Amino acid sequence: MRIVVLVSGTGSNLQSVIDAVKGGELDLDIAAVGADREGTYGLERSSEAGLETFVVNFNSFPTRDEWDAALTARVESYAPDVVVSSGFMRIVSADFIAAFDGKYLNTHPALLPAFPGAHGVRDAMAYGVKVTGCTVHWADAGVDTGPIIAQEAVAIEPGDTEESLHERIKIAERRLLVNTLAALAAAS
Ligand code: GRF
C-alpha cells in the first residue's frame, strides 16, 4: 500500500506513522509527504526520516481552484492507494475528492459529527461537553464529513486547557491513525 500524507503543521501524527513503519509495525510505503506551505516542522521531520517531500504553496496560486488542481496533479503523480490528511488545514475541492474517491483519509480531534472544522477541540470545550475524542474517517467534499472508520473517546478533565486537551486527544488520534492504516494495509 502506497500512501501520500498531507500536513500543515508539526506533523506529530505523521511521526507516529513514520515510527510505526520504521518499527515494522506498519507495512506500507510512504511515497511522499506534502504541505500547503514551506517551512513546517512536518516537512522537516519527513526529510529527516529520508522521505520525499513537496510543497504546493496555497499562497503562490492566484485562485483556490488553481492551487487545488496543482495539488491534485502532484498527489496523483505518486499513484497512492490512500491519501492521508494528517493535520492538513485546507479544504480541498470536490475535484480532489473525486480524483481520490474513497481513498482520502482524514483525522479530526473531535467525535464527529460533533465539532467539525478547524477548532474542534476549542468548540467542544466551549460547548461544555464532558467527553470528546478523535475520529478517523474517509473524507468527502464536506468539512470533516464522510464515512467514519474509527473513533476514540477522551474525557475533558477539570483544569484542561485547549492545549492540554488537544495533546491528550492527539495521543489517541495517533493510535487510531496507525491502527486504521495497519488494517487497510492488511486488507490491501
Ligand atoms: C491533529 O489533532 C489534527 O486532527 C488536527 O491538527 C492536529 C495535527 O497535529 N487537525 P500534528 O500536526 O499531527 O501534530
How would you classify the pairing of strands 131-138 and 53-55? unpaired
**CB burial readout 144-164, b (16+ within 10 A) else e:** bbbeebebbebebeeebeeee
Which is the closest atom of ligand 1 to the Cα of 121?
A: 2
Q: How far is CA 186 from the centre of its chain?
A: 20
Q: How far apart are CA 74 and CA 11, in angstroms?
A: 20
Asked if residue 144 has its Cβ within 6 Å of ligand 1, the reply is no
Q: Which of 108, 119, 137, 166 is catalytic?
A: 108
- Res 42: pLDDT: 95
Residue for grid cell 460547548: 127
- Which residue in the block uniquely carries the three cell numbers 476549542? 122
Active site residue 137: no
Instruction: Tell the residue nearest (CA) to atom 5 of ligand 1.
Output: 87
The packing angle between helices 162-187 and 12-22, to 10°, is 40
The alpha-helical segments, DSSP class H, found in the chain are 12-22, 41-48, 64-76, 94-99, 120-127, 162-187
Dihedral sign for Cα atoms in the order 6, 79, 173, 128? positive
Answer for the pair 180, 150: CB distance below 8 angstroms, yes or no: yes
Q: For residues 164-180, give the mean pLDDT.
A: 97
pTM score: 0.95
CA distance 86 to 126: 24
pLDDT digits (tens, 9 = 90+) for 77-133: 999 999 999 999 999 999 999 999 999 999 999 999 999 999 999 999 999 999 999
% of the chain beyond a pLDDT of 70? 100
Instruction: Kindly report, residue by residue over 129-167, the tens digit of the pLDDT.
Output: 999 999 999 999 899 999 999 999 999 999 999 999 999
| Closest residue to atom 3 of ligand 1, CA basis | 87
Distance between CA atoms of residues 51 and 76, nearest Å: 17
Cβ of 9 closer than 6 Å to ligand 1, yes or no, is yes
- What is the model's pLDDT at position 7? 97
pLDDT value, residue 141: 87
